Amino acid sequence: MKVTVVGAGHVGATTAQRIIEGSIADVYLVDIVEGLAAGKALDMAQAAPLAGHSSTITGGTDYEPAEGSDVVVITAGIARKPGMSRDDLLATNGKIITGIVEEITRVTPGAIIIMVTNPLDVTTHIAMQVSGLPRERVMGMAGALDTARFRCFIGMELGCSAVDVQAMVLGGHGDSMVPLASSATVGGVPITQLIEPGRLEEIIQRTRDGGAEIVGLLKQASAFYAPSAGVTEMVASIIRNEGRVMPVSVLLKGEYGISNCFLGVPVKLGAGGVEEIIEVALSHEEMAALQASAGHVQETVAAWERLSA
């Protein structure tokens, strides 16, 4: 199996490393910067005897070696800087993604596309629009990351392993995301029994601000360890046909009462991509928040359409 990762920056390179060291697939890493993808790929290849895997990785600036890829992960684009929202990246990254998807669909039209570039839900919309692929084969990585942050912060609060925290974050990948506190548990115990409401709301807000918090600390970069782990989990479920259930940004066509909008909801991921969209029962407040999140995504898509007209 073969995965192409577009963008050899922090997120892309770390994703490539996780995929090959997890023996998930062989990787082709591509970047417009001369030597960047080739150099990082060679470095990772030389680490293989030490890491103990037999996957291969190559890198370059051309898209032709991506031919025959089963999955293409797109991480390319400018990263956030302190004070910037994900939506502030729209004009630049929208144009970058348009060009990349045109190349990918020319070279390897059978691939499943996973978008990582922000603003996530809008760049995924652009990828589907440009590629013409069905919704099962174009998706965005956000919910896996946002959910991991929510689980992490709950674990920190309770002093327990985040592995034992079960939770889910739906909605757009931004300030309007919807962490589902009502269904979150720790070892089967509802977190509403373990964390008082005011403190739980602070944890939910920290989850929404999770990316911005890291940008503020790093100054010149954004998060990459957790995002790469999230997209690698998605890639593995597709390549290995695992049927994992996780929140993914996917085009809704009436699910949750929302249409024509990419939004993070739980799906089953397998060899065909998004094999099932799962509708979970939400409270009135959670449904209202999800509808509001969809409205924000739709507004941002409309802004992109005005910019690209």
Task: Write out the DSSP string of 117-153.
Answer: SSSHHHHHHHHHHHH---GGGEEE--HHHHHHHHHHH
Distance CA 54, CA 238 (A): 20
Report how far apart, in Å, the C-alpha atoms of 18 and of each of 12, 57, 206, 234 are.
Answer: 10, 12, 27, 12
Active site residue ranges:
173
The beta-strand segments (E) located in 43-94 are 57-60, 71-74
Contact between 290 and 176 (Cβ < 8 Å): no
Distance CA 3, CA 59 (A): 12
Contact between 74 and 113 (Cβ < 8 Å): yes
Distance CA 147, CA 42 (A): 33
Burial code (b: 16+ CB inside 10 Å, e: under 16) for 85-103 equals ebbebbeebbebbbebbeb
